[in-house]
Amino acid sequence: MTKTLCLDFGNTRLKAAIFEDEELKEIVFFNDNTESLHILSNATSFHQLNHLSHLPFTTPVAKPETIGADRLALAAAAVHYFPGRNNLVIGLGSCITYNFINKFNEFIGGSISPGMEIRLKSLNHYTAKLPLVKADWNVPLIGYDTNSNILSGVVLGMAKEIDGIIDEYNEKFNNFNVLLTGGDMVHLGSHLKKKIFADPELIFKGLYAISKVNNP
């Protein structure tokens, strides 16, 4: 049995997924620090994902070196689970990333927009009186006070954005998968009208797929 540790270095903490062969067994959290990289580099067969990594797809875009590691991992997961298909992977993190991988396993780009936390914080930061509201999934269409007005605008606005982007892709590629992942799935999933394959751990599964290519 082969054990693989896949690491996601976030802004404030480190998440790690433990795989036994191809099965994800456990996810653990650590305080993020640079010493972790030195320890792993010295004690394990360690590969840090970057634009020079071997990937199970190609990146025919203008500047492949600027593609974020999170987007590379999501694209790898799409290719691993749905090879030879058009795939739109939507990541709901600090930003919403739309990542399109065509049926030839080419990552051809997508788009980036502000995520839920950024939107909520910006309303508080750039206005004189609006409060900082905690994200929630249970929001009304018609807000009845300041907090519910903000949640209605942010949560339902994001849901309509995602539905609209999917509609645009559907006009161009009428046969494709939509994959959804990220921490804000719990707030947005029930408000989306499209049938979507949702997996909160998709980024780890993509990292595992990349590890198989770089550490066979």
Give the model confidence (pLDDT) of 20-44 as tens digits: 988 999 998 877 666 666 777 777 7
CA distance 99 to 91: 8
Whether residue 1 is predicted with pLDDT greater than 70 in this model: the reply is yes
**Residue 11: its pLDDT value, please?**
63
For residue 163, what pLDDT band results from cuts at 50, 70 and 90?
very high
Give the global pTM.
Answer: 0.89
Give yes or no: 184 in active site.
Answer: no
Spot the catalytic one: 8, 21, 32, 70.
Answer: 70
Q: Average pLDDT of 90-105? A: 95
Quote the DSSP letter at residue 105. Answer: S
Mean pLDDT over all residues of the chain?
A: 91
CA geometry: angle 78, 91, 209, nearest 5 deg: 35
Q: Where are the alpha helices (DSSP H) in 10-85?
A: 35-43, 69-81
CA distance 149 to 172: 34
Whether residue 13 is predicted with pLDDT greater than 90 in this model: the reply is no
Whether residue 138 is predicted with pLDDT greater than 70 in this model: the reply is yes
For residue 156, what pLDDT band results from cuts at 50, 70 and 90?
very high
**Residue 87: its pLDDT value, please?**
96
Name which of 6-20, 126-140, 190-204 the model is least confident about. 6-20
Name which of 53-62, 97-106, 192-201 the model is least confident about. 192-201
Name which of 5-14, 88-97, 129-138 the model is least confident about. 5-14
**Residue 151: its pLDDT value, please?**
97
What distances in angstroms separate CA 192 from CA 51, 54, 90, 148, one per listed residue? 33, 34, 12, 19
More confident residue, 113 or 22: 113
